[in-house]
Amino acid sequence: MVGAMEYDLFVIGGGSGGVRAARIAAGLGARVGIAERRFWGGTCVNIGCVPKKLMAQGAELGAALTEAGGFGWQVRGKGHDFGAMMAAIGAETQRLSGLYRGILEGAGVTMMEGSARLTGAHTVAVNGAEIGARHIFLAVGGVPVRPEFPGAALCAVSDDVFTLRDLPRRVAILGSGYIAVEFACIFAGLGAAVDLIFRQPLPLRGFDGELREALAAALPALGVRLHAGRMIASVETAGAARAVTLSDGTGMVADFVLLATGRMAAAGGLGLEAAGVALSPSGAIAVDEGLRTSVPSINAIGDAVDQVNLTPVAIAHGHVLAERLFGEGRRDWNFRDIPSAVFCSPPIATVGLTEEQAVARGETEVFVGRFTPLKHRISGRAGRQAVVKLVVDASDGRVLGAHMLGEDAPEIVQGLAVAITAGATKRDFDRTIGIHPTAAEEFVTLRQMTRRVGRHAATS
Ligand code: NDP
């Protein structure tokens, strides 16, 4: 039966994870086919990380023009052409999408454009043709979740941001996860009035509490109004705009209402039942720790399994799986201390355990530093105070988590993630010489413990 298969591997989904899996498998000599229904490079390249980051950088440049005044620059004519920025970003994402195609072509992978559907444990239908494969990877990514309330259909999701050609002047955003917080800062930075509506007391549930508080304190300086502990009750049309009513009866008018309430696996229409692939309780594709679905010949990776929905995780999934099935070596990735960043303003970056998680495990030493970056001593820009934090296991001095809110936090914490993966202790941080003057050196000059918390803290 296997001899009749056209492919050793067929990948459904040409996003970051699927493309990596296809390339590595093909490089190891496998005959590989891949299908993509929308755009090569997937969410990250086309309607996610990449254009979002460029928008965030575009928004920050506006603030930089004002900051420059503190340094003697005389900047006139600070108008912003939103359409020009979006056109430039669109051109760049198209270039990158083309690079992904090039990677697949270069690797000798057969590319198909269209929706693919499982028809059995070893068969896939693409554009009406049935294809046989020894292994099938489901790398279909995720789609935004739209909560139910009257008028929800009048609201946008993150995909829609990237087709805007004019800046909406009034923006209401529901949610306070990655997407909500990032776009709140982007729109506010570009000059819109932003209302951020969320059901928690603080934004970014799951992040370290001290950073959440610092972010909530920083957002109003950007022009983001916070509506904590609230939901959207309804949305109605108000001419070309939208009338938004919150759960406490507060009303507001917005030109753009963005629902940023999570993403779910794009498992619909995939023919999972036909092949016997089981779903998890959250509706994602269920996999074991080896990324195997309930059907031995079918694996799933990335956002489709809805575990840690980050591009580098999907890439690592695709890579490790392709190597395991078609190669010898197995790369040893650390899936425990996964760093991530929120490209808000100032940005947040984090790796390892939060203080709350560490304390739940045992006695913990916490080191916190707060400072105003040197530049803002004269830039005149308010709300730019930075917070750096180390969470340390009191029993052996191992650094369990590093967290930062402040400019360049994502660039700084990536390096700290290596230290934490390598098992660095607080003593290692203390004996590391800083680079001066930087924000990063604050992580190696946290001499004074801020507090000791956890099980035995009261007695120590
Ligand atoms: P998140 O899971 O991060 O946040 C969802 C937000 O929506 C939370 O604030 C949640 O509130 C709220 N929410 C969920 N359901 C409802 C509801 N019915 N009514 C009101 N509020 C609701 O999802 P995002 O959409 O922000 O992002 C999706 C994923 O994409 C992220 O988890 C992340 O993995 C990835 N991503 C990563 C980025 C990065 O690395 N920089 C950038 C963008 C996305 P509550 O906290 O109360 O549950």
pLDDT of residue 456: 63
**Which class for 72: exposed (0-12), middle (13-18), buried (19 or more C-beta within 10 A)?**
exposed
My answer on whether 156 and 131 are in the same domain is no
My answer on whether 129 and 64 are in the same domain is yes
Q: Could you tell me which of 156, 161, 118 has the C-alpha nearest to residue 235?
A: 156
On whether residue 269 sits in a domain, the answer given is: yes
pLDDT along the chain (460 residues), means of 10: 74 98 98 97 98 98 95 90 98 98 98 97 95 98 97 98 98 98 98 98 98 98 97 97 98 98 96 96 95 98 96 97 88 91 98 98 98 96 96 98 98 98 98 98 97 71
Residue 162 belongs to a domain with what CATH number?
3.50.50.60
d(CA 68, CA 246): 39
| DSSP code of residue 114 | S
Q: Which atom of ligand 1 is nearest to the CA of 310?
A: 34
On whether residue 333 sits in a domain, the answer given is: no
Judge whether 170 and 193 are in contact, CB under 8 Å: yes
Q: Which domain holds residue 397?
A: 340-453
The dihedral sign for the CA sequence 443, 448, 451, 456: positive
My answer on whether 15 and 125 are in the same domain is yes
pLDDT of residue 280: 96
- Ligand 1 — pocket residues by CB below 6 A? 147, 174-180, 182, 198-200, 205, 231, 260-263, 309-310, 340-343
On whether residue 422 sits in a domain, the answer given is: yes
d(CA 67, CA 166): 25
On whether residue 335 sits in a domain, the answer given is: no
Judge whether 210 and 356 are in contact, CB under 8 Å: no
d(CA 48, CA 313): 15
My answer on whether 125 and 217 are in the same domain is no
My answer on whether 295 and 404 are in the same domain is no
Longest CA–CA span in the chain (Å) reads 75
Mutate to test the pocket of ligand 1, among 205, 226, 263 (most ligand atoms within 8 A of CB): 263
Q: How far apart are the first and last CA of the chain?
A: 67
d(CA 111, CA 180): 34
Residue 387 belongs to a domain with what CATH number?
3.30.390.30
DSSP H helices in 169-271: 178-189, 209-222
Domain boundary residue among 215, 237, 261? 261
Angle between helices 49-70 and 82-107 (to 10 degrees): 140
Task: Detail the DSSP E strand segments found in 276-319.
Answer: 298-300
Mutate to test the pocket of ligand 1, among 161, 178, 315 (most ligand atoms within 8 A of CB): 178
pLDDT of residue 440: 98
Distance 63 CA to ligand 1 centre (A): 26
My answer on whether 17 and 137 are in the same domain is yes
Judge whether 15 and 42 are in contact, CB under 8 Å: yes
* List of residues 6+ apart from 247 with CB closer than 8 A: 230, 231, 232, 233
My answer on whether 25 and 71 are in the same domain is yes
Q: Which helix (H) or strand (E) holds 123?
A: strand 123-126
- Name the 3-class secondary structure at 307: coil
Distance 206 CA to ligand 1 centre (A): 10
Cβ-based neighbour number of residue 82 at 10 Å: 17
pLDDT of residue 1: 41
My answer on whether 256 and 290 are in the same domain is no
| DSSP code of residue 67 | H
Q: Which atom of ligand 1 is nearest to the CA of 203?
A: 9
d(CA 17, CA 322): 11
d(CA 55, CA 183): 9
pLDDT of residue 85: 98
d(CA 269, CA 140): 11
Total number of domains constituting the chain? 3
My answer on whether 138 and 32 are in the same domain is yes
d(CA 315, CA 324): 14
List active site positions: 436
On whether residue 331 sits in a domain, the answer given is: no
My answer on whether 20 and 46 are in the same domain is yes
**Which class for 346: exposed (0-12), middle (13-18), buried (19 or more C-beta within 10 A)?**
buried
| 346 preceded by a cis bond (ω within 30 of 0) | yes
Judge whether 5 and 305 are in contact, CB under 8 Å: no
Q: Could you tell me which of 368, 414, 434, 431 has the C-alpha nearest to residue 210?
A: 368
Distance 108 CA to ligand 1 centre (A): 37
Cβ-based neighbour number of residue 368 at 10 Å: 18
My answer on whether 283 and 256 are in the same domain is no
Q: What are phi and psi of 13, to 5 degrees?
A: 115, 115
On whether residue 332 sits in a domain, the answer given is: no
**Which class for 9: exposed (0-12), middle (13-18), buried (19 or more C-beta within 10 A)?**
buried
On whether residue 458 sits in a domain, the answer given is: no
Judge whether 333 and 301 are in contact, CB under 8 Å: no
- Token pair in block for residue 251: 């009303």
DSSP H helices in 1-81: 16-27, 42-47, 49-70
Domain boundary residue among 222, 239, 261? 261
- Token pair in block for residue 55: 């928008």
Q: Which atom of ligand 1 is nearest to the CA of 309?
A: 34
**pTM of structure:** 0.96
pLDDT of residue 328: 82
Domain boundary residue among 296, 326, 356? 326
Cβ-based neighbour number of residue 192 at 10 Å: 22
Distance 178 CA to ligand 1 centre (A): 6
My answer on whether 41 and 11 are in the same domain is yes
Distance 136 CA to ligand 1 centre (A): 29
On whether residue 295 sits in a domain, the answer given is: yes
pLDDT of residue 170: 98
